[in-house]
Chain A
């Protein structure tokens, strides 16, 4: 059994009347890429700030590496790397100087630091830009510099808070691959995002948050197993008589149908031949149809089914 790296127990954080974290608990094991998924305002960043002892909290306990996390826990902080959504680098220093400066906040030995800085530069692929000032870097390169500043000291626990916001797809993929590589090198990762595709792609375990509460936790397959929906079939069809729709709705494993005049959406739970059965009904009724899609459930479906609102549509 792998040791616990982060343990949050019954955490409550209030901003006046607003309850930002409502009896939130979490346990993250060594070597995990743990995803905190939730819409904006769900409490992800508040959780991170409490975890880093940058915010007071009203109730609960936080342990990191088996020790209570306090503002003065400098030894624990020295083992944590933080990469926030906003790029936090000094515009007045070059790429190398920035990485060296932030690495130096953790490592005082000059030789060791130098090696760490070079490793970080190589890791994010900024070898050709070491003498550049941040203003001269593109958005994607800036993000990479931001990451390099957070991981140069080779932390055991890396916290990434929405690191891919406003990043082009190419840089985003590079960042995600980098996170997986850091994990392979032994770091435990906490990854917060409201992009479910990213969380699905890289996280080994996921907690879904909404309104300061943890509404579900598990691997992505476990989470998808928590909901009825196992397959969503959508068919482009311009004319769908009510009797045909009722016939489809009465098919085995179909639990919900929606028709908006151009597209029929059929949600199924379990079963292996749902698509064939649905298409057979349409052919029997001699109805023409366009494109047909069969999709497996996403984390958005999980969120939708649990909260009643779509993850993407949720507002702060």
Chain B
């Protein structure tokens, strides 16, 4: 077990490089959880508005009253300098000026640029209030055309615009806020961390053990090549299994879910993906890339799979072209199973088996490619074993 133990020591030394990904993974996870909670609370924005009523008619006062609902009205300033200071220091968001003759122009239907506004910053809220006032004026004008008096029209417009529509944000998990779905949400992001951690640690460790000089020394020793390979393989399996198990346990504890029923399919799905990450590492290590290349490759593979296959962006939002491409990647089929189990798409046992089979196919393909590369490299580059 000498090679097994030494390889685990090498893996341990390489694990540090992956720690940053794990920390980032949990920080982003916590931030996203909190952001999601905050997104569900909606508050109407109040603006600090100064109303300069130069008309001082019942109509202008009704407009001022309409604006005052839902906003904070600031008393007019005695001079322009004070007003400018207040706007500069954001004590006032906007200044609305009702011109002299407002009521008359309203009655005559001359509403073009009737109300003037001043503000320092363009913000969504400022524009919204401005549009609301324009709507009010247009509504009054419409009611006037219907034959109502100016006062009646102003009141009716204010009442009509006071009606607020109830806004509900629909999400995929709406109504499904259960521990099982929380675990599925965790498992949905697991391919990213599995790819990052396994590629970034297993790959450099394998490269270190298979360095030309180290292999030479090993080949000179009394250890049989089969035993050496099996010990490396065993240590890799233990390491990948441990990484997968740790993340699964963390996910289970965080969600509070008990793995049962179809959730075992999700567990098997994640194990298969961990296996894929392991054989991909094995394949990459055959080319003995530098640590910089391994790091770049990790980013490239993990991020491209996450963005293309529906890990970071929901599969339902992917364009048809992107989806066609992503079907050629194992992460797509991984997410397909998660979506089925989460109820986003109907569960189909045949398709679930197909998704698992395709992932297993990728594992097999990379095993065969690794064997092929190893054979080619050993025959062509490294001295062959003597047969004489």
Contact = CB atoms under 8 A, between A and B. Distances in A.
Interface of A: 49-50, 52-57, 60-62, 70-71, 74-75, 77-78, 80, 82, 84, 86-93, 97, 101-102, 104-106, 108, 149-150
Contact of B385 (A71, A90, A106): A71
Contact of A90 (B214, B216, B221, B224): B214
Contacts, number: 89
Contact of B220 (A61, A80, A89, A108): A80
A82 B224 contact: no
B386 A101 contact: no
Nearest to A56: B386
Interface residues of B, number: 28
Contacts of A86: 213
B38 to A, nearest CB: 44
A84 B217 contact: yes
Interface of B: 2-3, 6, 9-10, 13-14, 205, 208-209, 211, 213-214, 216-224, 383-388
Contact of B386 (A70, A88, A91): A70
B387 A56 contact: yes
Contact of B222 (A87, A88, A91, A105): A105
B386 A149 contact: no
A90 B386 contact: no
A101 B2 contact: yes
Which DSSP category, helix, strand, loop or mixed, fits chain A's interface? loop
Contact of B208 (A62, A70, A90): A90
Given A52-B220, A90-B209, 19 more contacts: A53-B385, A54-B216, A54-B386, A55-B384, A56-B383, A70-B386, A77-B222, A82-B220, A88-B211, A88-B216, A89-B214, A90-B214, A92-B14, A92-B205, A102-B221, A104-B2, A105-B218, A106-B221, A149-B217
B320 to A, nearest CB: 47
A158 to B, nearest CB: 11
A89 B216 CA distance: 11
Contacts of B208: 90-92
A75 B220 contact: no
Leading 10 A-B pairs by shortest Cβ distance: A104-B2, A78-B222, A88-B213, A105-B221, A71-B385, A92-B13, A82-B220, A92-B10, A101-B6, A88-B217
Given A55-B383, A56-B385, A74-B224, A84 B2 contact: no
B84 to A, nearest CB: 64
A251 B1 CA distance: 73
A49 B13 CA distance: 32
